[in-house]
Every structure is written in structure tokens, then in C-alpha cells.
Amino acid sequence: MANRTPLTKEEVQEALKGLNGWVHDGDQLVKEFTFGSFREAISFIVRMSFEAEQRDHHPELTNVYNRVSIALNTHDAEHMVTEIDIELAQAIDDFSWK
């Protein structure tokens, strides 16, 4: 399992090079996805929930019609970005049909 020790800003910036469209905003990794419909957005959320549950790591997310915004940080690491956030962001990118 990924390490839950907070990453430095430099480590986060380095990790972002391998992620598509994620940004480091405050103490979170964030990304917004836009889909063709509400149904597609919800199915993306359901698919993402399997990745999150598998890692026992649950993102903050919002959904408005066809948009899904995801924010990742690790609550038990003082709400900072850790390796598990990077791992979940990569998993989301790997299955995303965008």
C-alpha cells in the first residue's frame, strides 16, 4: 500500500509530471472532468468509487450535471498530499474514458 506520509511541494510537482491535467491547489490534487451527459458523469463516479474503495481512500468530489470535480488529499496525514493520492489520481487517469 502507498505511503501516507505528506509529500513535499517538490515531490508533488515531480509526481504531477506523470498525471494528466491534475494540479496542486493548496494542499490538494484537483481535476475537473467534463462528460457528454449527467449519466456519463455518474457512471464515472461509480467507476471511480471502486478504485477509491480498493485503496480505502475516499476523495472529495462534486457533480454538477456533466461535470465532476475531484480533490485528493490524505485526511490522516494532516490533509496533505501523499503517495496514496498520487496513486489514486493515476488510477483515475488510467480508467477515464475521456
Q: Which residue has the higher pLDDT, 46 or 78?
A: 46
> Which is more confidently placed, 81 or 4?
81
Q: Give the mean pLDDT of 3-27.
A: 94
Domain range 9-95, CATH class? alpha beta
Q: How far apart are CA 7 and CA 43, in angstroms?
A: 31
Q: Can you give the residue ranges of every domain in the chain? A: 9-95
Q: Is a pLDDT exceeding 80 seen at residue 32?
A: yes
What is the distance in angstroms between the CA of the first residue and the CA of the last residue of the chain? 27
Asked if residue 98 has pLDDT above 90, the reply is no
Nearest of 93, 70, 73 to residue 84 by alpha carbon: 73
Cα 5 to its chain centre, rounded Å, is: 17
pLDDT at res. 76: 86
Q: For residue 62, what are the contacts with CB-CB under 8 A and spacing of at least 6?
A: 68, 69
